[in-house]
């Protein structure tokens, strides 16, 4: 069972990296987009939770669902940034 939890944690780390890169892209785009800082605040809130979960090593189904929702929210916020 530890092997499955380890495999899930590696996958969660990869998806958290995706959230972190999307956060960096939105942060860079904040300088050029005319939408203000609200997209940056939203993506930090959406991307910060997966980082905390992975740092604590959680791999239960609820935490994976939260991670999945956050990963899908990051590109939506990116599209919101560029009207």
The three-state secondary structure class of 1 is coil
Full-model pTM: 0.80
pLDDT band at 1 (very low <50, low <70, confident <90, very high): low
User: Is residue 24 within 8 Å of 44, Cβ to Cβ?
Assistant: no
Domain residue ranges of the chain, discontinuous segments joined by +: 19-81
Mean pLDDT value of segment 22-45: 89
Mean pLDDT value of segment 12-31: 89
So what's the pLDDT on residue 80?
87
Q: Which residues contact 37 (CB under 8 A, 6 or more apart)?
A: 30
So what's the pLDDT on residue 50?
85
């Amino acid at each position: 069972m530890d092997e499955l939890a380890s495999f899930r944690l590696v996958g969660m780390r990869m998806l958290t990296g995706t959230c972190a890169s999307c956060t960096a892209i939105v942060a860079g785009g904040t300088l050029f987009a005319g939408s203000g800082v609200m997209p940056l605040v939203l993506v930090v809130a959406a991307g910060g939770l997966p980082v905390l979960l992975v740092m604590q090593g959680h791999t239960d189904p609820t935490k994976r669902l939260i991670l999945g929702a956050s990963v899908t929210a990051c590109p939506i916020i990116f599209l919101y940034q560029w009207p």
